[in-house]
Structure 1
Amino acid sequence: MEILRPALVNIHGRIYRKNAVQEESYEEEEEEDYSYSEADAEQCLDEPCDAHDIQQTEKGFRCAIDVPSVLYKYIIGKKGETRKRLESETKTSISIPKQGVEGQIVVTGAHRAAVASAVTRVEVLIDSFRRKQPFTHFLSFALNSPQVQEGFLRFREQVLEHCGQDAGVEVSIFQNPAKLHLTIGTLALLNQQEVTRADELLQQCQRVIRDITEAKPLPVEVRGIEYMNDDPSLVDVLYATVALADGSDKLQQIADRLVECFVSAGLMERERDRVKLHGTVMNTLFRRDPSAEDRGASGRANMKDREAFNATNILQMFREVYFGAFDLNSVQISQRFSTDGTGYYSSAGHVTFS
């Protein structure tokens, strides 16, 4: 069935069929230790020449593609082997800027079809390794209103007082109250051009968002906690639940539409049919790194050496805990491992509901 239904790759709105191949591992610390197999060359089908912006020159044909500098090494390969093989198989020349210099990869060749083939192969190869990059930003709804922060601090104090002797429960695993948020989806934005593109896309979504909110802030209530695994005695994350005062699903609608928009643009990977809205209040990732962010539902969190905690008593005593209510009026592109003047994540772009 894998042959009949191969994986599809969305690159800049174009869909490619990707054959199943065994991918080689790449060590992060080895800047140019990358190889390229013949199977990689067959991952994509050559497409009509007009799919790319290929220009005719005096010496043949030319096509320039934007690629973040952190991904150059995957096209170069170990001792330049990947680039040499791509050039040999497509009868083209591939020019790559120096490492760390943002620019364009330029493919030139005597024939338009050869250039189109090389560009397609480069894009599919880049897409494969882009998916392995850690995310840099995420779409979020901020929950750090003064009322909710106050309720969270009260919750933390009571949990430590009544459940502080339970296995793994300690102050270090609680979220920073100034960074309470709902994660909508994660983004790997690898240079400033991609950050700008994401911001522009978010601005384009504002009209859709305001149609849902009727151009008004959404009154939200943060109440209750839940967990996602099936054993309350071995929990890694506890989430706060959020609901609208009018009982509607407008927040869910906004989140789902945003994900749909960013996935269609190739800036986000779809993780499930509907966004699981949740606000992390306790996370064992914080035990070792207080600056670690909620990984959402991306599955990218490192599960090695995580010490779970026993949340049985916490859930029994605080399942319906009330954190607070406020009017939510914006969604933003938040930057990981950053802090703005309010203590929340630095913003790379935002839009308001009203």
Structure 2
Amino acid sequence: MEVLRPVLINIKGRIYRKNPVQEECYEEEEDDYPSSGAGLFWSQCLDEPCDAYNIEQTDRGFRCAIDVPSVLYKYIIGKKGETRKRLESETKTSISIPKQGVEGQIVITGAHRAAVASAVTRVEVLIDSFRRKQPFTHFLSFALNHPQVQQGFLRFREQVLELCGQDAGVDESIFQNPAKLHLTIGTLALLNEQEVTRASELLQQCRDAIRDITEAKPLPVEVRGIEYMNDDPSMVDVLYAKVTVRDGSDKLQQIADRLVEYFAAAGLMERERERVKIHGTVMNTLFRKDPSAEDKGASARPNAKDREAFNAKNILQMFGEVYFGAFELNSVQISQRFSTDSTGYYSSAGRVTFS
């Protein structure tokens, strides 16, 4: 099946097949970088179209500069510089990397255009592999912290603690901060200011498509009912509030799916499922240790060994159709993880309004 249905990697709109490789444990290195490899003879190259990159011809051969966040330099350098040396040797190129912590471009030079193209491909695939291991820094969100919804949530919290506070694992620490009630559309690992700017610009490019769906009007939404995603209601880590458009349409779903489509195509987000799960977290066991924690919204019980689940049977029975409130939703934003703005919500790195 790995041959018939290989894992595909989207890098800046180009699709690559991912071949299985043994990943090493990398450490940051302070070694001096090797000198230029000008004049090296290229004897063999990969089948990479040379026009896939902006490769410049110089008086010494060919050159290509690629933007890579400084936090990822160490994965190209490798332990004691071994990864870079291997890449340079196999592609007959020279790879120049800025000093750790200095934002800039990685510059690849070589005597042949195909050699440089092959080296760039390998570097980008390597970077993509380790980028996926970085914790997310931002997320696309719909804010659900309207005053009416916050009031409904506070009533829900008070009643749950009063009626179900003796149930296993149920206590005040696992409830969401009412000012940060939200619906997560998808998560982003934006590793420098340039990537934050790029994501913000992409969101702005989605404005017309979003307004076509909303007819340039706010969406009247309702937050009502709760649900969970795993199989055992007595061992729950996350409890969600249901969010629907009051006219019964799927416009909110359309916007969320369209945004994931745009951001995934740009290589800024991974598509985790066919459709976005429309829900807002109200209880999460991650909050026990870290009130600012964010879950990626995965099903089942991620990181179960670090979490103490709670028994939600009585909560689901008593509050299955609890009404939190209704309001007009009029924006989507790129929210910064572990941040707070003047309203108590997450700081915004970009926003688009529906009207």
TM-score (norm 2): 0.93
Matching residue of 2:38: none
Tell me, what secondary structure is at the counterpart of 2:306? coil
Change (3 A) 1:124 1:192: same
Pairs within 5 Å for 1:33-182: 45-182=46-183
Matching residue of 2:28: 31
Alpha-carbon distance between aligned partners in 2 of 1:243 and 1:322, rounded to the nearest angstrom: 12
- Give the deviation of 1:25 after TM superposition: 4.8
Matching residue of 1:238: 239
Does structure 1 conserve the Cα–Cα contact (< 8 Å) formed by 2:28 and 2:78?
A: no
- Give the deviation of 1:305 after TM superposition: 2.2
Matching residue of 1:38: none
Does structure 2 conserve the Cα–Cα contact (< 8 Å) formed by 1:186 and 1:298?
A: no
Does structure 1 conserve the Cα–Cα contact (< 8 Å) formed by 2:62 and 2:116?
A: yes
Does structure 1 conserve the Cα–Cα contact (< 8 Å) formed by 2:230 and 2:300?
A: no
- Give the deviation of 1:303 after TM superposition: 2.8
Structure 1 letter corresponding to 2:168: A
- Give the deviation of 1:12 after TM superposition: 0.5
Alpha-carbon distance between aligned partners in 1 of 2:178 and 2:306, rounded to the nearest angstrom: 25
Q: Does 1:216 align with 2:213?
A: no
Structure 2 letter corresponding to 1:21: V
- Give the deviation of 1:16 after TM superposition: 1.2
Structure 2 letter corresponding to 1:31: E
What's the CA shift string for 1:173-207, capped at 9, x where partnerless?
00000000001000011111000000000000000
Does structure 1 conserve the Cα–Cα contact (< 8 Å) formed by 2:231 and 2:300?
A: no
- Give the deviation of 1:217 after TM superposition: 0.3
Matched residues, number: 341
- Give the deviation of 1:48 after TM superposition: 1.1
Alpha-carbon distance between aligned partners in 2 of 1:300 and 1:134, rounded to the nearest angstrom: 18
Matching residue of 2:36: none
Alpha-carbon distance between aligned partners in 2 of 1:191 and 1:20, rounded to the nearest angstrom: 29
CA-atom RMSD in angstroms: 1.6
Does structure 1 conserve the Cα–Cα contact (< 8 Å) formed by 2:229 and 2:300?
A: no
Matching residue of 1:256: 257
Gaps of 5+ in 1: 34-43
Matching residue of 1:315: 316
Change (3 A) 1:191 1:260: same
Tell me, what secondary structure is at the counterpart of 1:304? helix
Alpha-carbon distance between aligned partners in 1 of 2:90 and 2:301, rounded to the nearest angstrom: 35
Matching residue of 1:14: 14
Change (3 A) 1:192 1:176: same
Gaps of 5+ in 2: 31-44
- Give the deviation of 1:6 after TM superposition: 1.9
Tell me, what secondary structure is at the counterpart of 2:350? strand
- Give the deviation of 1:32 after TM superposition: 4.3
What's the CA shift string for 1:260-283, capped at 9, x where partnerless?
000011100000110001100000
- Give the deviation of 1:31 after TM superposition: 3.0
Does structure 2 conserve the Cα–Cα contact (< 8 Å) formed by 1:2 and 1:20?
A: no
Alpha-carbon distance between aligned partners in 1 of 2:185 and 2:304, rounded to the nearest angstrom: 21
Does structure 2 conserve the Cα–Cα contact (< 8 Å) formed by 1:6 and 1:20?
A: no
Alpha-carbon distance between aligned partners in 2 of 1:243 and 1:321, rounded to the nearest angstrom: 14
Matching residue of 1:205: 206
What's the CA shift string for 1:320-351, capped at 9, x where partnerless?
00000000000000010000000000000000
Tell me, what secondary structure is at the counterpart of 1:221? strand
Of residues 302-311 and 223-232 in structure 1, the stretch that sits farther from structure 2 once superposed is 302-311
Matching residue of 1:5: 5
- Give the deviation of 1:295 after TM superposition: 2.1
